[in-house]
Amino acid sequence: MNSKMRVAVLGAGSWGTTVASLTAANAPTLLWSRDPQTTDQINCEHRNDKYLAGMSLHPELRATTSLEEALRHCDVLVMGVPSHSFRETLRAAAAILRPWVPVISLAKGLEQGSNRRMTEVISEELPGHPAGLLAGPNIAKEVLQGLAAAAVIAMTDEQIARSLQPIFSRSVFRIYTNTDVVGCELGGPLKNVIAISAGMADGLGVGQNTRSLVITRGLAEITRLGVALGGRPETFSGLTGLGDLLTTCMSPLSRNRQVGERLAQGETTAEIVASMKMVAEGIKTSSVVMELAHRHALSLPIAAEVSAVVKGEHSAAQAFRGLRRMAAGSEGEAA
């Protein structure tokens, strides 16, 4: 059945291209890119050197610059565009996409202004289409290299999620299902903020003990906010919570960790954004997280310091001095 299902992936960044290469092994896949040079290179050389230099893609993967071509016959739509262009892209797709096609988000961000999760944006712009996400501790280059990894398809309808499992699965890329869409979807955006803090810790040279402190207390903040927004507590101990947090905080390939390191070296957010080819979602998400924290009267001291540094209100060194001044109570308490 899956060999007959046609997949469209919108967005030819590092992770969108990687997922498209995975699905191309299991189903006909068409990757949409705005860049004609990227499209030509994928079709002719099976590479995307703009985002994945030196990596080979599946030879059956095809690319196009035409949204119409990508969408008109697809049975599964995978959204690999960043959160800031997510709604706009869905609106463009709405007039082309056939009814009831499942839509899977890869974006690990929250929409600025509305504070919506991406599956909520899908439901608003494409009502009637089953919405879900694919998330987990996944570094694109490692997945393309064939190193063992795992991810989660989260959908409220577990039967649809199970039917999509084989499309994304490979022998060393294991796919799990989860019906806690809220919890799975919040883990990614929230951990990006904590990863910036871990990067700042490394950039300042404050030591491994401090980084461990940031990661563990960061997980407490992620869980606190995630549960307040409707996620299940146990989800944040799984692949889309703790697993994704560890990878993003520790990997030198993590964009959000790199942002933190550069902030610690004195660069401004504007300078960092201007120099990056790909989006570091934690930069935009940090302000959204604080809006949600204030709305729910939650204490998120690490996220608050990251937000202040991103806005230029504090330096990274000032942020860590602020964290040192916090009083420590019971480990189960908020601070």
Parts of the chain with a pLDDT under 50:
1
Residue 131: C-alpha distances to residues 46, 134, 281 (Å): 30, 11, 21
Say if CB 21 and CB 46 are below 8 A apart.
no
Rounded Cα distance between 276 and 268, Å, is 13
DSSP element (H, E) containing 44: helix 36-45
pLDDT attached to residue 326: 54
Q: Where are the domains of the chain?
A: 2-179, 182-324
Which are the catalytic amino acids? 191
pTM of the shown model: 0.90
CA 89 to chain centre: 17
pLDDT attached to residue 320: 82
Strand order, beta sheet including 7-10: 62-64, 29-32, 7-10, 76-79, 103-105, 131-135, 149-155, 173-178
Please state which architecture CATH assigns to domain 2-179.
Answer: 3-Layer(aba) Sandwich (3.40)
The DSSP secondary-structure symbol of 107 reads: -
Q: Give backbone dihedrals phi and psi of 7, rounded to 5 degrees, phi first.
A: -110, 135
Facing residues of 77 across strands? Answer: 8, 103
Among candidate residues 292, 285, 201, the one with its CA nearest the CA of residue 249? 201
User: Would you state the structure tokens that stand for residue 241, as one six-digit string?
Assistant: 């919570």
> According to the CATH classification, is domain 182-324 in 3.40.50.1000?
no
- Residue 159: count other Cβ atoms within 10 Å of its Cβ: 10
DSSP notation for 135-179:
ESS--HHHHHTT--EEEEEEES-HHHHHHHHHHH-BTTEEEEEES
Rounded Cα distance between 102 and 79, Å, is 11
pLDDT attached to residue 235: 97
Rounded Cα distance between 204 and 200, Å, is 6
Say if CB 78 and CB 8 are below 8 A apart.
yes
Rounded Cα distance between 165 and 160, Å, is 9
User: Would you state the structure tokens that stand for residue 159, as one six-digit string?
Assistant: 């039967």
pLDDT attached to residue 277: 79
* CB neighbour class for 22 (10 Å; exposed up to 12, middle 13-18, buried from 19): buried
